[in-house]
A and B are shown apart, each in its own frame.
Chain A
Amino acid sequence: MNLVSRYEIRIGGFGGQGVVTMAVVLGETLSLIEKKFVVQTQSYGPEARGGASKSEIVVGDVEIDYPKVMEPDVFIVLSRAAYLAYIKGLKENGILIIDEDLVEIEGDLPDGVKVYKVPATRIAEQEVGNKQATNVVMLGVLCAITKIVTNEGLQQRIEERWPRFKESNLKALELGLKAGEAALVGQ
């Protein structure tokens, strides 16, 4: 990643899909391993499951002033409700990554937005054998498409964070990377 003052990532889904955990793992990797300035926030309703939920990361090489996302450079979305609630504001020429089995493109997108479709939930369920790994698959996809974070950094963080579940999560990350690279080629 080149020097950048502010890069904004938004992740949307429904409560329970792991969108907050995904942002936290990404934030931990960027902050603790890659030594970037990072702020991670989230927004959710009072429900424990369901409801539109979003998490956000602002990353840069200088201190982050305003902590929330204003115009995301990247929007990763895992549910239709979150797509409808949070699509507004996506930057012109930004990146939209959707779980193609759960989200369809509806309405107009800002000019120049690149759309990447990946079956993240299907990959987690069928190839990793655990739907709960969907968010880690998506981390791999994000890494391949944006290069905002390194694969090595994510691998290290996953090993540190989930020693008991590191094998399945590293597999999910690798499958996500492959799916992201395939989506890049397909563009």
Chain B
Amino acid sequence: MPERIMFTMGDIASAEGALSAGCKYFGGYPITPATEIAEWMALRMPQVGGSFVQYEDEIASITSVIGASWTGVKSMTATSGPGVSLMLEAIGLAVMTETPLVLVNIMRGGPSTGQPTRGQQGDIMQAKWGSHGDYQIIALTPASVQEMFDQTVQAFNLSERYRVPVFVLADETVGHMRERLVIPDEKDLKLEYRKLAAGDPADFLPFKPDEDLIPPMALLGSKYQFYATGLTHDERGYPTDKEDVQLELVARLNNKILHNADKIIDLERFMLDDAKIAVVAYGTPSRSARKAIKEAREAGIKAGMLRLKTVWPFPEDALADLASEVKHIIVAEQNFGQVYYMVKAAAAPTPIHLMAKPAGMPQLPHEILDKIKEIDSL
């Protein structure tokens, strides 16, 4: 399809990004503020020859996505915090079985049912640590309608490349705001697809990794017979309680992401080159920070921003570098402090100042400007 231009909301941009990435299966359960994604997919999936299924709950939704992905179809779901809470057990299964899938979480106020129509960024740690055990996922944090599209495409590419669940973590404001969206000509999009199993089925080992630590994937319904389980498994896919297999598997599930962190992580440096004070932000607060920094510069204060477009794997090296460039770091996030702890661990001993706001309105530009001025006067 040729280039299209729309004035539309982040939720719909994400759905269009999925479709442009070749997603042909959406299994979900509508929830504010992610409902528009399901609504749009219900309309669009039949037009592209894909399937949309609304399930009885989030647990059925996510497990259907895992099953669909194993048939070779790029698959996704979309929900909000309460829905992610229900999906977490299956996220662990997807990690352990190395199932490519995309989960869009339009973050609303929490804990629990919280404030359905108000935004927050309270699910950063949940995305990383919500399921049990030691594992890595990838999580992207868009800040505009265009990025909802672009980063959903990227989410599919990363999930296919690394055989891992990828989260798109957008706060409600980004999900529900409308802006201009340019959907590129499909010829201009670079799309990735998982490595597929090849060779003699008799010799096939479904969980034997290549040098890049990622095993080629056999699909359900293909000539390969295999077994995929949430139990610790050897290269044949068979469950085992051997310690060496457990150690090797857990290390590989983590390292296939961590060793490629520099290829995965996407950051924006804004006015940082001579900055003495850096704001670290993502999603809607990063847009407040951008305004505050421009105004701080007009007032002669050397401020800049490191905007995180990827929060998992966490950009530790970039934060350590930032800590050596600037005198102070402000973390502004729409929660009570989550990325803050990661920044503290990576950037110590540079002073880190938290601007926490676990509520629907993000930190306002003038509030961030006031904080920059306060720190500048120290």
Contacts and interface: CB of A to CB of B under 8 A. Distances in A.
B55 interface: no
A28 interface: yes
B142 to A, nearest CB: 13
A81 to B, nearest CB: 17
Contact of A38 (B179, B360, B361): B179
B176 interface: yes
A148 interface: no
Interface in B273-298: 284, 287-288, 290-291, 294
A27 B178 contact: yes
B178 A39 contact: yes
B145 to A, nearest CB: 8
B287 A24 contact: no
B7 A31 contact: yes
A46 B117 contact: yes
A43 B362 CA distance: 13
B290 A39 contact: no
A70 B291 CA distance: 12
Given A39-B178, A42-B176, A65-B291, A70 B364 contact: yes
A52 to B, nearest CB: 12
Contacts of A67: 173, 177, 179, 284, 287
B294 A65 contact: yes
B83 interface: no
Nearest to A30: B7
A66 interface: yes
B69 to A, nearest CB: 33
A58 B178 CA distance: 11
A68 interface: yes
Give the interface size bracket for A toward B.
Answer: 20 to 34
A32 B176 contact: no
> What is the interface of chain A mostly: helix, strand, loop, or mixed?
mixed
B236 interface: no
> What is the interface of chain B mostly: helix, strand, loop, or mixed?
mixed
A66 B117 contact: no
Contacts of A17: none
A3 to B, nearest CB: 17
B117 A44 contact: yes
Interface in A47-64: 64
B179 A39 contact: yes
A91 B180 CA distance: 27
Contacts of B5: 32
A32 to B, nearest CB: 5
B116 interface: yes
A41 interface: yes
Given A45-B117, A65-B287, A68-B361, A31 B176 contact: no
Nearest to B365: A66
Contacts of B180: 31-32, 37-38
A107 to B, nearest CB: 23
Interface string B171-208: 00100111110000000000000000000000000000
B250 to A, nearest CB: 41
6 contacts: A31-B7, A32-B5, A32-B180, A40-B178, A41-B173, A68-B361
Task: Report the 8 A-B pairs with minimum CB-CB distance, sorted nearest first.
Answer: A40-B178, A65-B291, A65-B290, A31-B7, A28-B7, A66-B291, A31-B180, A41-B177
